[in-house]
């Protein structure tokens, strides 16, 4: 008899090939890497903009890289002023009620009743449902509907929302957990010490392009000389405002330009060495990495940095905020770059990155990725974890 292929779904708040969000790229990348072994689907919303959650793509199903993508409409756009008011009120409340916390979660979004109805009606047809990212309504309201077959990849770090008591119950529901870094796992174990959150560090994968053209990127944006690249959501919550202030205060010491590439969620003034490109397609993204001197990561709040892995794949060093424990841990283990905690360290790190040191850090980073972060190895580890959590038998025959 032929073996029955297991069917699994990944649930994530948004997805399109051009989005930069790490959770979305991780979910689709892992689903695609598993497609040789399992029937994989990605359940998501029709939203692209994480600030508004406005419906931007038609609902329905399509196949991208052998993964079936099922999109469901969001019921209402986020009311940003109301959400901000609820956030401030909740942070100030010593013992918020569950109702108040869930109102905040509904306002946070994205809330898709169609997606929740699908999980309630069809969830049992999947052998496992993997929720990627703890923070959004797709996970908080969706996971309890399929708790008996749920696995959570929290993508957690020390940020104010994870202190809300409502998460204590939700983190006690999944059948299993998987983590991207040892720092993330250690933090979750400390935060949820009263429930079983055990799980392996599996990580994520990256795949280098066949080729990248650094001169094509420079010509497209008129860039000359050395530059540091920021690649991701251009947002205050990602540390971009602080990065711009630090860069402008210290530019005389290091002499580089700064390229900001990604969807903008804040006003950014170009000039004085700052180049703002907006979102980049995949080809142009890799061209940008190839053209850059280094990648800079200013965010304090990361559970894993996929763009750091991509930079290392191209042999580029990474300069990261020292307060982002998971990324700082990646850099320490790989030897692929430096961290900074203030303006002086930022400028000193950039000034120290001559061609020889940059090449050394980049070589170490590339070796680190080759050893730990290629999709075939990640897919094998993740499959073995699913088999252990859910008691699957290998090569189970069809009945």
Digit-coded pLDDT (tens) for 360-372? 999 999 999 999 8
pLDDT at 399: 41
pLDDT at 394: 59
- The whole-angstrom separation of Cα 351 and Cα 377 is 37
**pLDDT band (50, 70, 90) for residue 19:** low
Rounded to two decimals, what is the model's pTM? 0.85
**pLDDT band (50, 70, 90) for residue 282:** confident
Contact 142, 131 (CB under 8 A): yes
The pLDDT tens digits for 93-111 are 888 999 999 999 999 999 9
pLDDT at 94: 84
CA distance readout (Å), 174 to 49, 88, 135, 149: 28, 29, 15, 7
pLDDT at 303: 73
- Burial classification of residue 194, based on how many CB atoms lie within 10 Å of its CB (0-12 exposed, 13-18 middle, 19 or more buried): exposed
Decide if pLDDT at 398 tops 90: no
- The whole-angstrom separation of Cα 186 and Cα 158 is 11
Which ranges in 34-122 belong to alpha helices (H)? 80-92, 98-108, 113-122
The pLDDT tens digits for 110-154 are 999 999 999 999 999 999 999 999 999 999 999 999 999 999 999
List, as one string, the DSSP characters of 236-269: GGGTHHHHHHHHHHHHHHH--EEEEES-BSS---
pLDDT at 3: 62
Domains of the chain listed by start with CATH number: 7-205+374-390 (3.40.50.2000), 214-372 (3.40.50.2000)
The pLDDT tens digits for 39-70 are 999 999 999 988 899 999 999 999 999 999 99
pLDDT at 70: 98
- The whole-angstrom separation of Cα 176 and Cα 200 is 10
* For residues 212-239, average pLDDT: 93
Axis-axis angle for helices 214-221, 282-291 (nearest 10) = 100
**pLDDT band (50, 70, 90) for residue 208:** confident
pLDDT at 396: 46
Write down the mean pLDDT value for the chain. 92
pLDDT at 141: 98
Decide if pLDDT at 306 tops 60: yes
- The whole-angstrom separation of Cα 131 and Cα 139 is 6
- The whole-angstrom separation of Cα 11 and Cα 52 is 19
**pLDDT band (50, 70, 90) for residue 397:** very low
């Amino acid at each position: 008899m032929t073996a029955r292929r297991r069917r699994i779904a990944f649930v994530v708040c948004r997805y399109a090939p051009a989005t930069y969000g790490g959770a979305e790229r991780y979910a689709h990348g892992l689903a695609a890497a598993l497609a040789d072994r399992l029937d994989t689907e990605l359940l998501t919303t029709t939203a692209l903009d994480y600030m508004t959650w406005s419906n931007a793509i038609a609902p329905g199903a399509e196949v991208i890289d052998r993964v079936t993508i099922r999109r469901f409409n969001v019921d209402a756009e986020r009311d940003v002023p109301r959400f901000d008011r609820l956030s401030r009120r909740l942070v100030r409340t010593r013992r918020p009620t569950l109702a108040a916390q869930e109102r905040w979660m509904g306002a946070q979004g994205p809330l898709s009743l169609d997606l929740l109805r699908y999980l309630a009606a069809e969830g049992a047809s999947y052998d496992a449902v993997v929720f990627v990212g703890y923070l959004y309504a797709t996970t908080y309201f969706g996971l309890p509907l399929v708790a008996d077959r749920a696995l959570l990849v929290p993508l957690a770090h020390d940020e104010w929302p994870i202190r809300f008591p409502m998460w204590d119950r939700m983190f006690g529901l999944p059948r299993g957990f998987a983590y991207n870094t040892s720092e993330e796992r250690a933090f979750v174990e400390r935060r949820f010490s009263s429930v079983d959150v055990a799980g392996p560090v599996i990580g994520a994968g990256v795949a280098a392009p066949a080729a990248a053209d650094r001169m094509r990127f420079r010509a497209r944006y008129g860039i000359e000389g050395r530059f540091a690249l920021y690649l991701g959501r251009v947002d205050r919550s990602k540390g971009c405002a602080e990065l711009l202030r630090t860069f402008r205060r210290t530019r005389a010491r290091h002499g580089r330009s700064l390229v900001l590439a990604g969807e903008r969620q804040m006003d950014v003034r170009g000039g004085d060495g700052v180049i703002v490109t907006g979102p980049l397609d995949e080809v142009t993204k890799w061209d940008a990495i190839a053209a850059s001197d280094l990648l800079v990561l200013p965010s304090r709040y990361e559970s894993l940095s996929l763009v750091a892995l991509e930079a290392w794949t191209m042999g580029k060093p990474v300069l990261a905020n020292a307060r982002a424990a998971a990324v700082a841990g990646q850099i320490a283990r790989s030897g692929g770059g430096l961290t900074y905690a203030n303006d002086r360290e930022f400028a000193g790190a950039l000034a120290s990155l001559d061609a020889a040191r940059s090449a050394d850090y980049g070589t170490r980073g590339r070796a680190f990725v080759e050893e730990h972060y290629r999709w075939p190895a990640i897919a094998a580890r993740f499959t073995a974890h699913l088999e252990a959590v859910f008691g699957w038998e290998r090569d189970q025959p069809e009945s």
